[in-house]
């Protein structure tokens, strides 16, 4: 380990053990959300100090993301070309996100003439939703004689599926049921009023897509 980085680690440990200033979370409430291949900015509540911070350090799962001293910036393995640090506030931008970047990030700031400042925040990285498609029956449906299933397929990280029919939410009832994951709407038997446009909206905190299927029910 670099001597300067070791010195910063020792100072941080001593201050933590002393219990100085660790109660204040200098990061806003989380979690933050980011998309794979995108970027996210960790903003802080710190104001630029009159004298530069002695050190600003970010860590992830106990590993160094970057430790910045008055003299030098020391990025962790794999972060050199993915991060941008604002030493005046401790803010960090992380780019080229992967799902593996999801987890808790810890900021530790050592001011000059003041107590240690620390904050923790969670980041969730999602694969954007894609390939949303609604599939339904291709054969003729006769009222009271047939059943039907309408299925919503999607790729990416799916946090939520919401069904509507002709603009109104699809609700479970005597002849209508929804699968536990909301992938499929099942109707048994079909009635004339079950016909219409079924839309499925698939979403996560960074993306959403909608697809539809027109279900036709014929009277005998």
Q: What is the pLDDT of residues 171-201, one digit of tens each?
A: 999 999 999 999 999 999 999 999 999 999 9
- Write down the pLDDT at residue 220: 73
- Write down the pLDDT at residue 195: 95
- Write down the pLDDT at residue 152: 98
Q: Is 3 helix (H, G, I), strand (E, B) or coil?
A: helix
- Write down the pLDDT at residue 6: 53
Residues 6+ apart with CB under 8 A from 32: 40, 42, 121, 122, 123, 124
Q: How does residue 124 score in pLDDT terms, banded at 50, 70 and 90?
A: very high
Q: Any idea what the Cα angle at residue 71 is, between residues 67 and 76, rounded to 5°?
A: 25
Higher-scoring residue by pLDDT: 114, 9:
114
Q: Which two tokens stand for residue 173?
A: 């009832």
Question: Class assignment of domain 130-215?
Answer: mainly beta
Q: What stretches of the chain adopt beta strand conformation (E)? A: 32-35, 40-42, 55-60, 63-69, 73-75, 83-86, 91-94, 103-110, 117-126, 130-135, 148-155, 160-165, 168-169, 176-178, 184-187, 196-204, 207-215
DSSP letter at 218 equals: B
Query: What is the arithmetic mean of pLDDT over 36-49?
Result: 95
Q: 45-98 pLDDT, tens per residue?
A: 999 998 999 999 999 999 999 999 988 999 999 999 999 999 999 999 999 999
d(CA 19, CA 98): 34
- Write down the pLDDT at residue 197: 97
Q: How does residue 30 score in pLDDT terms, banded at 50, 70 and 90?
A: confident
Q: Is the pLDDT of residue 8 over 50?
A: no
Domain ranges of the chain: 3-126, 130-215
Helices (H), 20-161: none
Q: What is the pTM of this model?
A: 0.82
Q: Of 121, 120, 118, 122, nearest to 18 (Cα)?
A: 118
Q: What values do phi and psi take at 5, rounded to 5?
A: -65, -40
Q: Of 154, 142, 150, 212, nearest to 179 (Cα)?
A: 150
- Write down the pLDDT at residue 194: 95
Q: Which two tokens stand for residue 120?
A: 């923790």
- Write down the pLDDT at residue 19: 40
| Cβ pair 190, 128 in contact under 8 A | no
- Can you name the CATH fold of 3-126? Immunoglobulin-like (2.60.40)
């Amino acid at each position: 380990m670099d001597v300067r980085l070791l010195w910063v680690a020792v100072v941080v440990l001593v201050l933590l053990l002393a219990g100085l200033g660790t109660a204040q979370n200098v990061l806003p409430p989380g979690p933050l959300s980011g998309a794979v291949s995108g970027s996210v900015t960790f903003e802080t509540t710190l104001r630029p100090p009159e004298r530069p911070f002695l050190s600003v350090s970010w860590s992830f799962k106990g590993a160094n993301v970057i430790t910045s001293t008055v003299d030098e910036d020391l990025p962790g393995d794999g972060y050199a070309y993915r991060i941008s640090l604002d030493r005046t506030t401790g803010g960090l931008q992380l780019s080229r996100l992967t799902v593996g970047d999801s987890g808790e990030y810890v900021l530790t700031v050592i001011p000059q003439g003041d107590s240690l400042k620390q904050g923790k925040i969670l980041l969730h990285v999602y694969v954007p939703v894609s390939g949303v498609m609604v599939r339904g029956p291709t054969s003729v449906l006769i009222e009271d004689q047939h059943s039907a299933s309408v299925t919503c397929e999607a790729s990416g990280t799916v946090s939520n599926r919401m069904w509507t029919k002709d603009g109104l939410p699809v609700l479970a009832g005597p002849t209508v049921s929804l699968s536990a994951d909301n992938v499929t709407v099942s109707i048994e038997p079909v009635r004339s009023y079950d016909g219409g446009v079924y839309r499925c909206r698939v979403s996560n905190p960074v993306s959403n897509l909608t697809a539809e299927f027109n279900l036709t029910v014929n009277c005998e």
